[in-house]
């Protein structure tokens, strides 16, 4: 199957069956039957084009007429032209230009892609496949090369609605983990090209997964959070958290909200408040014990660190980053500290650095070095024997490969977890959890099956491998994932394969382990209840 | 013919220098982009690749530059192609030969130039020269030339075959890829032919270069002339290929992968960014509200 085949009519480009997937270690080896993939309903297949691989992450309604199809193609081309100009895409033009121009298609990046490998090397998931499709479109429709030149460069692609719908879906089969970019000796970044394709669809055609756009950035800017939490709801959640902390710690801790002039504005992924309140509670317990001068914000956008724009839309990215900075400025805090959320780290600390100018450029840091300082300086009393169970660390791509925050979390775990063990590979060479670039929150139709069985498979394999010597469900084990989206993905992955029941593996954040080791708490912080 | 060969050679060299300069300037002058760095593990223990300014609690203080170490790293990779060796050894073997061929053929021409300059001072370039520089240049020209012709020919052939038989590579190969291998094979084979059958001591090349410098063009035997013409065509062809990755990979690593320059208040970078951020957006999706600036909602 060649890149130009993406525009050719066929019922389905690729059919994935569970037998094609790479094998998993015990207890998912020979005796285990892989769950069958959920098939799309008749209505769904009639309404949407699922001819890429039978899964739908976006689900673009089929155009009713040829005119509608042509209009979409025209609009895509107009977006593609904009993508290649400095006026419209100064934000990523140079990296994009480099990756489009200088890939020699040596394919040495292939084996670094977890989705490509896990799928049994399905051609369409090859890291070089979608960039090559885009290059061919550019050669033929933007540069408008002549017949001979097109023949020589192999730009024989037909741009039509089928191609567009497949390309849009295909841009959401890459988690933007950028492991492929990391191994490229020429500095080509195929992950970036996936993101740029997403941008054309979002910024020009208004097409993006509902969870990222409508329920994501749009909702966040309007109501305050992509979770739908309003400032009033936040207030109730904080009271609930204080009650829970009182039960565990044996004393009531007042969680500071909107404290003007505080040293630190702590920004959590608001998903934590709903799905893992123990994470935000652990932060409060640790900061209180360490005497940190901190606050949360109750301003719209100010209590949700997420910035889904980083995955698909530069304008939404800039708008949310600006709101975060405005909230910090209004509170007159000295710095923003980002909690356990990988993409928020990358978006707010790194990418926003070139969006925020003047007094909006509030210092922004990761919470991990601060936690390392608290733990390693002895500011709080810790007993590592409370964490005497096997622990492994998942490296969120955004924090580790994309920001180089490698050691702080490890120094903490070495200090408080006697049975800490590393996955292979780890650190900047880690594999993505499979939920990166928004996948963890995308629940469209049968996409969650693909996410668990394909994009998350390498991570599951790594987790099972690292715990093989203690794989019995009677041994409680802990995957430390200091990132909300990674945790969401690991939860879905474990549910899909019933990992907790079969292997006794739990997951959680880093601060939960720190709080669990704190001797001042009335009872253990980690409850070992699957939820 | 003698004049044609000389003029064509001047043209080829001027053309590639101008084209590469234009392309390099175009690349470098692209607007400042958002930060998109990577903390690579290409070389374990190479601290400068993983030296993150985000592992501390005051990032501005720990922002460091590792220009020299990074340059050395890229140069080392440039001469070893170690990532290819690690990940695709059979491909690396031919790629390495091919690249050695390129590096040496360029070095060969540089030595030819210096050989010609040396000859202007009445120093003989030969193994029996009374001047040590004459001996050194003789062997340098000889070995770089001969080794480049052999390794380049082997590399071109190997890569051509590899692109055809390796499914991963052939699926993405265009006619232009095959043409490039065949063309470079012709360049190296013509050099090999000229050396073996026409000019075993490579004295024709030295004399040709002396003629280029003194504007006193000499007659070159047809076998050597064919190689000179093909090499000139190759120089003219290079700017139209992806070959500039020799240079752009330095840009990509320094300007993108390792670009962690913080946007400090009052800095030049901030001024540039402010101008870019004040531009009106023209994207037309409904949520964009075309005509507003980047940060306006």
Predicted confidence (pLDDT) per residue in A373-392, tens digit = 999 999 999 999 999 999 99
DSSP string, B161-223: HHHHH-HHHHTT--HHHHHHHHHHHHHHHHHHHIIIII-TT-HHHHHHHHHHHHT------HH
Residues of B in contact with A319 (CB under 8 A): 295-297
**Cβ within 8 Å of B, A 172-201:** 178, 181-189, 192
Determine contact, residues A490/A401, Cβ cutoff 8 Å. no
pLDDT tens, residue by residue, A12-28: 999 998 889 999 999 99
From chain B, pick out residues whose CB is under 8 angstroms from the CB of A128. 172
**pLDDT category of residue B47 using cuts at 50, 70 and 90:** low
How confident is the model over A433-485, as pLDDT tens digits?
999 999 999 999 999 999 999 999 999 999 999 999 999 999 999 999 999 99
On average, the pLDDT of chain B sits at 91
Query: Which residues of A are less than 8 Å from B251 in CB distance?
Result: 98
Query: What confidence category does residue A155 fall into, taking pLDDT thresholds of 50, 70 and 90?
Result: confident
Domain positions in chain B are 2-257, 267-297
Query: Cβ A315–B179 below 8 Å, yes or no?
Result: no
* Predicted complex ipTM: 0.94
Is residue B126 a contact partner of residue B141, using CB atoms and an 8 Å limit?
no
| Torsion B188-B193-B194-B195 (CA) sign | positive
Residue with tokens 């075993």: B200
Residues from chain B that touch A111, judged by Cβ atoms under 8 A, are 87
pLDDT tens track for B150-180: 999 999 999 999 999 999 999 999 999 999 9
Give the span between the Cα atoms of A199 and A207, in whole angstroms. 9
Q: pLDDT tens for residues A224-243?
A: 999 999 999 999 999 999 99
Q: d(Cα A130, Cα A151) in Å, to the nearest integer?
A: 20
CB–CB contact B283 A82 (8 Å): yes
Instruction: Give the pLDDT of residue A498.
Output: 95
Q: Is A369 close to B297, i.e. CB distance below 8 A?
A: no
Determine, for residues A154 and B175 on separate chains, whether the beta-carbon distance falls below 8 Å: yes
Beta bridge partners of residue A507, listed in sequence order: A479
8 Å CB contact of A408 and B55: yes
Residue A271's contacts (CB-CB under 8 Å, 6 or more residues apart) are A226, A227, A306, A441, A484, A485, A488
- pLDDT tens-digit series, residues B180-226: 999 999 999 999 999 999 999 999 899 999 999 999 999 999 999 99
A120, two tokens: 């049994």
Measured CA to CA, the distance from residue A417 to residue A458 in angstroms comes to 25
Pick one of 1.10.150.120, 1.20.950.20, 3.40.47.10, 1.20.1250.20 as the CATH number of B2-257.
Answer: 1.20.950.20
Q: Residue A277 pLDDT > 80, yes or no?
A: yes
Model confidence at B41, pLDDT cuts 50, 70, 90, reads low
Element (H, E) at B235: helix B222-237
pTM of the predicted model, to two decimals?
0.95
Which residue in the set A184, A203, A403 is minimally distant from B39, CB to CB? A403
Q: Nearest CA of chain B to the CA of A501: how many Å?
A: 36
Question: CA of A233 to nearest chain B CA: how many angstroms apart?
Answer: 24
From A115's Cα to the closest Cα of chain B, the distance in A is: 17
A361 touches chain B (CB under 8 A): yes
């Amino acid at each position: 199957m060649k890149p130009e085949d993406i525009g050719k009519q066929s019922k389905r480009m690729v059919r994935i069956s569970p037998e094609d997937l790479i094998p998993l270690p015990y207890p998912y080896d020979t005796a285990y039957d892989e769950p069958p993939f959920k098939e799309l309903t008749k209505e769904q297949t009639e309404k949407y084009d699922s001819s890429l691989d039978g899964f739908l992450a976006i689900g673009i309604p089929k155009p009713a007429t040829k005119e509608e199809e042509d209009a979409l193609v025209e609009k895509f081309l107009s977006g593609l032209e904009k993508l290649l100009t400095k006026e419209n895409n100064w934000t990523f033009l140079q990296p994009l230009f480099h990756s489009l121009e200088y890939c020699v298609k040596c394919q040495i990046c292939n084996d670094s892609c977890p989705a490509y490998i896990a799928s049994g090397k399905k051609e369409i998931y090859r890291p070089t496949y979608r960039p090559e499709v885009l290059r061919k479109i550019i050669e033929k429709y933007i540069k408008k090369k002549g017949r001979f030149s097109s023949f020589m460069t192999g730009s024989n692609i037909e741009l039509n609605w089928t191609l567009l719908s497949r390309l849009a879906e295909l841009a959401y089969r890459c988690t933007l983990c950028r492991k492929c970019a990391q191994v490229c000796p020429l500095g080509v970044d195929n992950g970036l090209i996936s993101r740029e394709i997403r941008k054309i669809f979002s910024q020009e055609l208004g097409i993006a997964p509902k969870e990222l756009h409508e329920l994501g950035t749009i909702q966040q800017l309007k109501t305050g959070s992509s979770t739908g939490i309003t400032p009033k709801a936040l207030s109730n959640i904080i009271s609930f958290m204080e009650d829970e902390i009182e039960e565990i710690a044996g004393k009531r801790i007042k969680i500071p909200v909107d404290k003007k002039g505080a040293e630190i504005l702590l920004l959590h992924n608001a998903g934590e408040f709903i799905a893992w309140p123990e994470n935000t509670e652990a932060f409060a317990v640790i900061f209180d014990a360490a005497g940190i001068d901190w606050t949360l914000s109750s301003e719209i956008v100010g209590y949700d660190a997420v910035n889904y724009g980083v995955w698909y839309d530069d304008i939404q990215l800039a708008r949310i980053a600006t709101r975060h900075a405005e909230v910090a400025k209004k509170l007159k805090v000295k710095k923003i500290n980002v909690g356990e959320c990988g993409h928020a780290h990358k978006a707010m600390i790194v990418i926003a650095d070139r969006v925020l100018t003047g007094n909006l450029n509030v210092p922004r840091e990761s919470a991990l070095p601060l936690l390392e300082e608290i733990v390693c300086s002895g500011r709080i009393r810790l007993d590592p024997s409370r964490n005497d169970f096997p622990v492994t660390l998942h490296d969120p791509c955004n924090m580790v490969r994309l920001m180089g925050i490698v050691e702080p979390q490890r120094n903490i775990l070495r200090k408080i977890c006697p049975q800490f063990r590393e996955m292979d590979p780890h650190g900047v060479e880690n594999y993505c959890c499979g939920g990166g670039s928004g996948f963890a929150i995308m629940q469209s139709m049968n996409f969650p099956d693909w996410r668990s069985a394909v994009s998350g498979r390498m991570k599951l394999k790594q987790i099972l491998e690292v715990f093989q010597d203690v794989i019995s469900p009677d041994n409680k084990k802990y995957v430390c994932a200091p990132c909300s989206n990674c945790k969401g993905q690991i939860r879905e992955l474990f549910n899909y394969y019933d990992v907790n029941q079969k292997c006794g593996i739990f997951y959680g954040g880093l601060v939960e382990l720190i709080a669990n080791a704190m001797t001042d708490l009335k009872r253990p912080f980690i409850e070992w209840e699957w939820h | 013919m003698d004049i044609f060969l000389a003029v064509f050679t001047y043209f080829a060299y001027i053309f590639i220098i101008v084209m590469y300069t234009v392309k390099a300037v175009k690349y470098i002058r692209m607007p400042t982009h958002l930060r998109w760095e990577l903390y690579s593990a290409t070389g374990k223990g190479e601290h400068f690749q993983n030296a993150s300014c985000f592992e501390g609690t005051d990032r501005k203080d720990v922002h460091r530059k590792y220009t020299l170490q990074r340059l050395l790293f890229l140069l080392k990779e440039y001469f070893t192609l170690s990532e290819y060796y690690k990940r695709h050894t059979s491909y690396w073997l031919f790629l390495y030969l091919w690249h050695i061929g390129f590096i040496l053929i360029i070095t060969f021409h540089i030595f030819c130039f210096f050989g010609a300059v040396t000859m202007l001072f009445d120093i003989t370039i030969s193994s029996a020269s009374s001047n040590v520089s004459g001996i050194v240049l003789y062997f340098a020209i000889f070995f770089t030339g001969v080794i480049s012709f052999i390794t380049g020919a082997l590399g071109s052939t190997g890569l051509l075959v590899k692109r055809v038989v390796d499914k991963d590579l052939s699926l993405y190969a265009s006619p232009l890829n095959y043409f490039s291998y065949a063309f470079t094979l012709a360049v190296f084979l013509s050099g090999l032919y000229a050396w073996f059958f026409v000019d075993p001591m490579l004295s024709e090349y030295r004399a040709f270069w002396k003629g280029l410098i003194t504007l006193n063009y000499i007659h070159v035997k047809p076998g050597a002339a064919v190689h000179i013409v093909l090499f000139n065509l190759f120089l003219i062809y290079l700017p139209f290929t992806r070959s500039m990755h020799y240079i752009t990979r330095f840009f990509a690593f320094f300007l993108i992968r390792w670009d962690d320059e913080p946007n400090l208040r009052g800095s030049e970078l901030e001024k540039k960014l402010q101008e870019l951020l004040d531009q009106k957006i023209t994207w037309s999706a409904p949520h964009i509200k075309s005509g507003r600036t980047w940060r306006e909602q």
